[in-house]
Structures are given as C-alpha cells and as structure tokens.
Structure 1
Amino acid sequence: MDLKDQLKNFFPEHQEEKVTPEKVVGEKIWMQDDPIICKYEKRKGKPTTILEGYTGADEDFKKLAKELKTKLSVGGSFKDGAIIIQGDYRDKIMALLKEKGFKVKRVGG
C-alpha cells in the first residue's frame, strides 16, 4: 500500500486534483520578413555592435534590447530605432536572434 492509498483511506471524500504544468505566457514580439542588420563599428576607439532594421513597435525592440543585454551581461542602449551593444558580440547576438526566429544579416567585417 503506497502513500496515496493510505491517504484515500483517511480522507475518502477528497477529490484528487490534476496538476498541470503552468503555461508560460511569453510576451509576443513582432516577427518581420526583412532581416535585422547586425553591424560592427568603432566609436571613440571602442568596438560596438549595432542592430538596425526592425519594423515593429519601439516597445518590442526595447524589450529585445533589454533581453540581449541581460543574456550577454553587457551594457548598451536603444537610440533612434537601433540597439547599440558595447563590444563585438555579433556572433552571439546573431545566434540568439536566430534562436528566437528572427532573420539576421551580418554587415561589415
């Protein structure tokens, strides 16, 4: 006799609830047909990675920028419709965006 059977003997009127895994309601981000352009520049002698060409809402692009910065543990900003990441992280960013379903085009170098 296992534990469930013993509990049924003590509490015969108890109905067992089925536990289902919680559905994670992720925030939907606009997917576009055109690729996001991922380019490398040097600003004031320091390497930067710039993402441009997103056609969705700015709020979605800001969420994407925040997610990229936290996953890469780097600094950056969102200005004038472009995500600016400190450092040369083109390969990692392109892999993360492709994993999310975006089309990415590498420009420069």
Structure 2
Amino acid sequence: MDLQDQLKNLFPEHISENPTEDNQKGDSLWMQDEPIICKYEKRKGKPITILEGYTGATEDFKALAKEIKTKLSVGGSFKDDKIIIQGDYRDKIMNILKDKGFNVKRVGG
C-alpha cells in the first residue's frame, strides 16, 4: 500500500486535482498567431535546437518544454523565454507543434 492509497483511506471525501495534468494535455495552452521560431545552433561543438517566440504565459511554455523533452526522451532547459533541446530535433519538434495547432517557422540550415 503506497502513500496515495493510505491518504485515500484517511480522507475518502477529498478529491485530488493535479494541475500539471491539464497542462500536459495541451488543451490549456494559449495558441498564438505568430509562428514559433525553431532554429539550430552548435554550442561548444554540440548541436542544440532552440524554440523561441511564444507570447503566452511562461508556465504554458514551460509545460510545452517538458512535454517535448518527454516525447523525445532528450535533455533540455527553459531559459530566457527560450526552450533549449539537446540535439538536432527540428523536424520532430516541428511535427509535434504542428499537431498541437501551432504555426512553426524553421530558421537556419
């Protein structure tokens, strides 16, 4: 019996809500008219993919970064209103964003 089951037994009337699940579904993300810029760079000899240009809430962009990193099983970070993904995944990221309904513009190479 794990902790969640024990808490359910102690507080059966409590309804637990997980706000991160709503952000991961992609339904609550703000859609914008301008395209998200997807570009490729090399830093210290390593390839990276950078996404920038999202004008919605920072939390939505962070949730989008987490979802992309999870789907691609890669590392990355969120800094200065940019998503930085380790590796050259421009095509895969653009397909993920297009499926969600975003306009994406490929920049560089």
SS of 1:34's equivalent? coil
Q: Report the identity percentage.
A: 81
1:40-55 aligned at under 5 Å gives the runs 40-55=40-55
The match for 1:57 is 57
Distance 1:65 1:43 in 2: 19
Q: Are 1:78 and 2:82 counterparts? A: no
- Unpaired runs of 5+ residues, structure 1, are 1-24
The match for 1:33 is 33
C-alpha deviation, 1:78, in angstroms = 0.1
C-alpha deviation, 1:62, in angstroms = 0.0
Q: Could you list the runs of 4 or more consecutive aligned residues of structure 1 that deviate by over 6 angstroms after TM superposition?
A: none
The match for 2:103 is 103
Cα deviation code 1:38-82 (max 9, x no counterpart): 000000100000000000000000000000000000000000000
Structure 1 or 2, whichever has the larger Rg, is 1
- Unpaired runs of 5+ residues, structure 2, are 1-21
Distance 2:81 2:39 in 1: 14
Task: Give the TM-score normalised by structure 1.
Answer: 0.76
For the aligned residue pairs, the C-alpha RMSD in angstroms reads: 1.4
Task: Give the TM-score normalised by structure 2.
Answer: 0.76
